[in-house]
């Protein structure tokens, strides 16, 4: 699963009602273009697709005063909200070795009740443990690990990164259990979108590091 649907649903939901360009700006504000496939084409495609599937409700609107083509505004439907929560839970729970889905989910995790967040993260840790065990067992031939040659390094990489992922997850669980952050039903939610007209403070000077793909 790619992160784009979760990101787009989350962005539209935070606004209540948003058009594509707004979503695009939020994702840039979040830095999502750096760690996910959130490019204009994908965003507009996701919006249209989810509108077709009934997860979003589309409203045609007059062109903005600032010029440009007429816009389409979207709202999350009840069905869309369910899908959002399902995607969010899945993203937290399942270990899929890609950081984009998890990054998006961490950004929205406070939409869940604190206990549920902790429970899902613990499921994640357990999933990582099982995966690690399966991998080490599968890639350990009878003739000893040396018979794999350099191929053993692939397993080594996976195990290393599974251990690291588990460690990070345990740290997060500890912080949440220790009372950090404000979760659903605990008061004023964290506001993470740009208001209409507000300028992205990170817009220039984007890191764009050794992002040499």
Partner DNA sequence: ATCCCTGTAGTCAAACTTGACTAGCAGGTC
Partner DNA sequence: GACCTGCTAGTCAAGTTTGACTACAGGGAT
Contacts (CB under 8 A) with its own copies, residues 171-190: 171-172, 175, 180-182, 190
Contacts (CB under 8 A) with its own copies, residues 44-83: none
Pick the piece of the chain touching its own copies (CB under 8 A) from 13-21, 38-46, 80-88, 126-134: 126-134
**CA–CA distance, 32 with 103 (Å, rounded to integer):** 9
**Which one of residues 17, 51, 72, 159 is an interface residue with DNA (CB under 7 A)?**
72
Does residue 199 belong to the site contacting its own copies (CB under 8 A)? no
Is 155 strand, coil or helix?
A: helix
Question: Of 27, 157, 11, 176, which Cα lies nearest the Cα of 80?
Answer: 11
CA 117 remoteness from chain centre: 14
User: Is 211:38 a contact under the CB 8 Å cutoff?
Assistant: no
- Shortest Å distance, C-beta 131 to DNA: 18
User: Is 28:126 a contact under the CB 8 Å cutoff?
Assistant: no
Residue closer to its own copies by CB (options 188, 196) is 188
Sign for the pseudo-dihedral over CA of 212, 39, 95, 146: negative
CA 173 remoteness from chain centre: 18
Phi/psi for 24 (5° steps) reads -55, -45
- Shortest Å distance, C-beta 126 to its own copies: 8
Residues that bind its own copies (CB under 8 A): 1, 30-31, 35, 90, 93-100, 102-103, 106-107, 109-110, 126-128, 130-131, 133-135, 137-139, 149-151, 153-154, 156-158, 160-161, 163-165, 167-168, 171-172, 175, 180-182, 190, 192, 202, 205-213
Residues that bind DNA (CB under 7 A): 2, 4, 19-22, 37, 39-42, 44-46, 48-49, 63-64, 66-72
């Amino acid at each position: 699963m790619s992160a784009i649907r979760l990101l787009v649903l989350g962005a539209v939901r935070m606004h209540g009602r948003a058009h594509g360009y707004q979503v695009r700006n939020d994702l840039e504000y979040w830095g999502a273009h750096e760690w996910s496939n959130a490019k204009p084409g994908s965003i507009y495609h996701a919006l249209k697709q989810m509108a077709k599937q009934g997860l979003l409700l589309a409203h045609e609107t007059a062109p903005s005063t600032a010029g440009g083509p007429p816009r389409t505004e979207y709202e999350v439907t009840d069905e869309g909200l369910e899908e959002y929560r399902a995607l969010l839970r899945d993203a937290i729970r399942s270990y899929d070795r890609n950081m984009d889905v998890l990054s998006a989910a961490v950004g929205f995790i406070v939409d869940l009740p604190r206990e549920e967040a902790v429970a899902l993260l613990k499921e994640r840790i357990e999933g990582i443990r099982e995966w690690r065990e399966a991998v080490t067992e599968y890639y350990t031939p009878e003739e000893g690990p040396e018979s794999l040659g350099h191929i053993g390094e692939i397993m080594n990489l996976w195990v290393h990164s599974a251990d690291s992922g588990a460690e990070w997850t345990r740290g997060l669980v500890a912080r949440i259990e220790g009372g950090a952050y404000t979760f659903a039903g605990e008061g004023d939610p964290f506001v993470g979108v740009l208001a209409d007209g507000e300028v992205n403070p990170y817009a220039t000077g984007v890191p764009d590091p050794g992002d040499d793909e």
